[in-house]
Structure 1
Amino acid sequence: MLIRPFFLLSCVTALLAGAVQAQSIVYRCPGPPVLYTDALSPKEAQAKDCRSIEGTPITVLPATRPRANPAPASAGGGEARGSADGRIDPNQQRSRDGERRRVLETELREAQERLDALQRDYAGGNAERRGDEKNYQKYLDRMAELKASIGRQEVDVQALKREISKLP
């Protein structure tokens, strides 16, 4: 009599273990982004071309949390990041602003030079035809491209001027 309840208990345990195992199959589904899921049935997984990753260990890494307080500025050498309350030394900020202004002015000068060169080539839409433009349509295509390039360059110049005007 003692053998039967033990046998019955082991059968029930085996059935439950099989059910848990069937639910815990994890599938890797292709495509951007790659999807790992255990919510698919075997038929759905096959239809989506998903592969079972049975027996492969799965590692879940917790997300990193940002530090509450930044590290204090170093006293020796290098560029100081600022004080503990997040402020930057006014002299250092002036230096950064000056460098930014120099970079933007250089970019503005180069953009203005490119714009002038494009406008010279365009010649108000009356540029001379080149030797490789025996077909009039090639000439018209080049003029349209030059006109579009001039428009883009003008927008770039205006954007750089706006950025410079925002500086202190």
Structure 2
Amino acid sequence: MNPVLSIPLLIALAAGVFSANSVAQERIYRCGNEYTNTVPDAKAKGCKLVAGGNVTVVQGTRPNGSQPKPAAVAVATQSGSAGQRIDAADQKSRDSDARRILEEELKRSLARQDELRREYNNGEPEKQGIESRNYQKYLDRVAELKAALARNESDIAGIRRELGRLGAAAAK
């Protein structure tokens, strides 16, 4: 191939690409938070022409509350497993398993609470290693222990609430 002929060919191709790109760009109008490229809509809404640069608009998602449910999804939800009944024996078995798991978790949490209380020692835990020379590290550890105690107490209260709900459900 002759190098002299290839340069004009490259220039012609480049010009074609750039001219096609500039033809593809239309005028974009901004109407508040919406964009349009249709002139009649833009004039009717009193939109302003966006000057300079390319505009890329990505359609966002709608919140769940404002989005209508598709018919196929609605039918699947109505006839799905949510409407099926569970056998009483199966439900009783599930409830007893849940109660057993919660009781085990409560035992572990109570044991952890006792361990934390011993270590916390009414706000005066024993100093460890460098804490005798660095009082701030000691204070930080005391604060962490206090937070861990509070967090564990909250966990215990939550487990007891769940056990109470299971007891109330069993009474029904």
- TM-score after normalising by structure 2: 0.55
1:102 Cα deviation after fit: 1.2
Of 31, 56, 62, which residue of structure 2 is paired with 1:51?
56
**Deviation string for 1:88-127 (max 9, x for gaps)?**
2111110110111111112111211221111111011121
Q: State the distance in 2 between where 1:45 and 1:94 align.
A: 69
Q: State the distance in 2 between where 1:152 and 1:95 align.
A: 31
**Deviation string for 1:29-66 (max 9, x for gaps)?**
xxxxxx996478662795xx74279xxxxxxxx94523
Q: State the distance in 1 between where 2:52 and 2:99 align.
A: 58
For the 8 Å contact 1:115–1:153, the answer to whether it is kept is yes
Partner amino acid, structure 2, of 1:105: E
Partner amino acid, structure 1, of 2:147: A
Of 48, 56, 70, which residue of structure 1 is paired with 2:79?
70
Q: State the distance in 1 between where 2:93 and 2:51 align.
A: 61
Correspondence 1:83-94 to 2 at 5 A = 86-94=84-92
For the 8 Å contact 1:45–1:51, the answer to whether it is kept is no
Partner amino acid, structure 2, of 1:145: E
Which has a greater percent of helix?
2
1:132 Cα deviation after fit: 2.0
Correspondence 1:1-168 to 2 at 5 A = 38=36, 43=50, 46=53, 50-51=55-56, 63=70, 64-67=72-75, 69-70=78-79, 86-133=84-131, 134-167=133-166, 168=170
For the 8 Å contact 1:119–1:150, the answer to whether it is kept is yes
Partner amino acid, structure 1, of 2:74: P
Which runs of 5 or more structure 2 residues have no equivalent in the other structure?
Answer: 1-24, 38-46, 59-68
Partner amino acid, structure 1, of 2:50: K
Identity over the aligned pairs, expressed in percent? Answer: 38
For the 8 Å contact 1:108–1:160, the answer to whether it is kept is yes
1:137 Cα deviation after fit: 1.6
Number of positions where the alignment pairs a residue of Structure 1 with one of Structure 2: 119
Which runs of 5 or more structure 1 residues have no equivalent in the other structure?
Answer: 1-20, 26-34, 54-61, 72-80
- Cα RMSD (Å) of the superposition? 3.6
